Chains A and B, each alone.
Chain A
């Protein structure tokens, strides 16, 4: 009787030992295990950057692992790096705005000279000459404004493309950390904000900014047309809309992230409890292994988040400094126009400066919003 039982037991033991079981193949969440280096690769994010920023961030993208990326980031998180970068951007922006500044000042001085020679009140021909000089100033100001608007819309498009490329990386890290709900929430909220921001900048603000120079030119030629109420209304309306959108999205994203984090933590603890209770012998060790994996992903999350923040700043700051340089040159020229008594050119420059303020607000708020999303991502803990 004992011999058949022993034979059966030996057969089952041999059968069981013929299978290899390893922790690497066990997946709590089903599907592919998210742990390969390719899914945390920031190469796709780096590819979406503008060329000048790509050169700055090349070492971050070229790093083979998280340690290398962290080392590359450490260099970029020092004050000396940012001071040097800011100085370079300021110099480029100011030297870029200088030709326009000198051209506008030259036209203003010439116009003032002719008016001075014509005497008080001037003649009909002299007054028509003022129209021509206003048109010349309007053209130079329009060129500067269109260039600055182009910079901002390109910046917004690039930033949105970069965040689109960063979403899969963030989602992969969220899922690896056990935060499925947070991954879904983050993905949907960010994609909505990216779409709204890009459409607002490219389809609404850019055409409106394009219409303004045409109106300004018409007022300069026709005379007597006051565009200040129009521009003021546009400026206030756009800033209110952008601020409202940013406040709503930051509130929604913050609240949803907290709730999703709570839900994910609860789900993970339930799974851990179930694994500890039902898996014999190794249940406790498997449960602890989940916690260890999550903790190790913390470094990857923080490095990826820091890299994302640095990249956003590398795109945002040059565009913002460029707009500020153009606004500064318009301010100087407007002061000169007021001193020389050129009212038409002064009104043209005030309108252009106000339009650029709207774009600067859009650039800053969209950058802040994305940095907020990346910060939420960095500070999301692991399920424990």
Chain B
């Protein structure tokens, strides 16, 4: 409870600072937003680690260990890509945001390649039988 109260406090302070600094120019706004984002994300890390640990334990019991690690990595990639793209858009850089999104999509698709490869191997095995 204390952690979330701290994070809410940081968010409110960041919003207030942005309102005050709005007249100072876009550069200041971007750095304040980025700093607030980093502080909030850092505060969330313990909760995310707890969720990841729970998912790993549950996946071991369910027999989906090989999927869980890849899916968790992909979820982390998606989250980081999403946050970065939003930051870029808020600073007015639409092009950089789209490049970041493209990079994130490519990384996630690369994670799915082993699955696709195994499906094709199984299919070719049946076709060739």
Contact, CB under 8 Å: B129 / A102: no
Contact, CB under 8 Å: B120 / A214: yes
Give B105's nearest chain A residue, CB to CB: A128
Residues of chain B within 8 A (CB-CB) of A256 are none
Q: Which of the 9-residue segments A38-46, A136-144, A236-244, A368-376 touches chain B?
A: A136-144
A106 at the interface (CB under 8 A from B): yes
Residues of chain B within 8 A (CB-CB) of A171 are none
Q: Which of the 9-residue segments A23-31, A119-127, A286-294, A304-312 touches chain B?
A: A119-127
**DSSP majority for the B interface?**
helix
Q: Which of the 9-residue segments B1-9, B11-19, B30-38, B108-116 touches chain A?
A: B108-116
A341 at the interface (CB under 8 A from B): no
Give B124's nearest chain A residue, CB to CB: A210
Residues of chain A within 8 A (CB-CB) of B39 are none
Contact, CB under 8 Å: A146 / B122: yes
Contact, CB under 8 Å: A210 / B62: no
Q: How far is the CB of A118 from chain B (nearest CB, A)?
A: 7
Q: How far is the CB of B40 from chain A (nearest CB, A)?
A: 15
Contact, CB under 8 Å: B119 / A217: yes
**Distance of A179 Cα from B7 Cα, bound (Å):** 92
Interface positions, chain B 62-81, Cβ under 8 Å from A, are 62-64, 67-68, 70-72, 74-75, 77-79, 81
A153 at the interface (CB under 8 A from B): yes
Question: Quick one: which of B64, B72, B126 contacts A146, CB cutoff 8 A?
Answer: B126
Q: How far is the CB of A51 from chain B (nearest CB, A)?
A: 21
Q: Mark A79-101, 1 if CB is under 8 A from B, else 0.
A: 00000000000000000000100
Residues of chain B within 8 A (CB-CB) of A366 are none
Interface positions, chain A 205-223, Cβ under 8 Å from B, are 206-207, 209-214, 217, 221
Q: Mark B95-129, 1 if CB is under 8 A from A, else 0.
A: 00000010011001101100110111011111111
B29 at the interface (CB under 8 A from A): no
Question: Quick one: which of A132, A209, A212 contacts B74, CB cutoff 8 A?
Answer: A132
Q: How far is the CB of A214 from chain B (nearest CB, A)?
A: 4
Residues of chain A within 8 A (CB-CB) of B71 are 107, 110-111, 114, 132-133, 136
Question: Quick one: which of A125, A131, A143 contacts B77, CB cutoff 8 A?
Answer: A125
- Taking residues whose C-beta sits less than 8 angstroms from the other chain, chain B's interface range is 35 or more
Question: Quick one: which of A136, A212, A214 contacts B70, CB cutoff 8 A?
Answer: A136
Contact, CB under 8 Å: B119 / A210: no
Contact, CB under 8 Å: A153 / B62: no
Contact, CB under 8 Å: A110 / B112: no
Residues of chain A within 8 A (CB-CB) of B120 are 214, 217
Interface positions, chain A 133-162, Cβ under 8 Å from B, are 133, 135-136, 138-140, 142-143, 146, 149, 153
Contact, CB under 8 Å: B116 / A132: no
Residues of chain A within 8 A (CB-CB) of B72 are 110
Contact, CB under 8 Å: A106 / B108: no
Contact, CB under 8 Å: B112 / A207: no
Residues of chain A within 8 A (CB-CB) of B79 are 117, 125
Contact, CB under 8 Å: B105 / A124: yes
**Distance of A131 Cα from B78 Cα, bound (Å):** 12
Residues of chain B within 8 A (CB-CB) of A165 are none
**Distance of A123 Cα from B122 Cα, bound (Å):** 32
Contact, CB under 8 Å: B111 / A132: yes
Contact, CB under 8 Å: B122 / A125: no
Contact, CB under 8 Å: B112 / A135: yes
A361 at the interface (CB under 8 A from B): no
A103 at the interface (CB under 8 A from B): yes
Question: Quick one: which of A102, A124, A138, A146 contacts B125, CB cutoff 8 A?
Answer: A146
B87 at the interface (CB under 8 A from A): no
Contact, CB under 8 Å: B112 / A221: yes
Question: Quick one: which of B64, B122, B129 contacts A142, CB cutoff 8 A?
Answer: B122
Contact, CB under 8 Å: B115 / A138: yes
Residues of chain A within 8 A (CB-CB) of B125 are 146, 210
A129 at the interface (CB under 8 A from B): yes
**Distance of A149 Cα from B58 Cα, bound (Å):** 30
**Distance of A111 Cα from B79 Cα, bound (Å):** 13
**13 pairs from A and B in contact (CB 8 Å cutoff):** A105-B62, A125-B79, A125-B85, A128-B104, A131-B108, A136-B71, A138-B119, A139-B118, A142-B118, A142-B123, A206-B126, A207-B127, A214-B120
The 10 closest A-B pairs by CB, nearest first: A210-B126, A125-B78, A103-B64, A214-B123, A210-B127, A102-B62, A125-B81, A106-B64, A207-B127, A135-B115
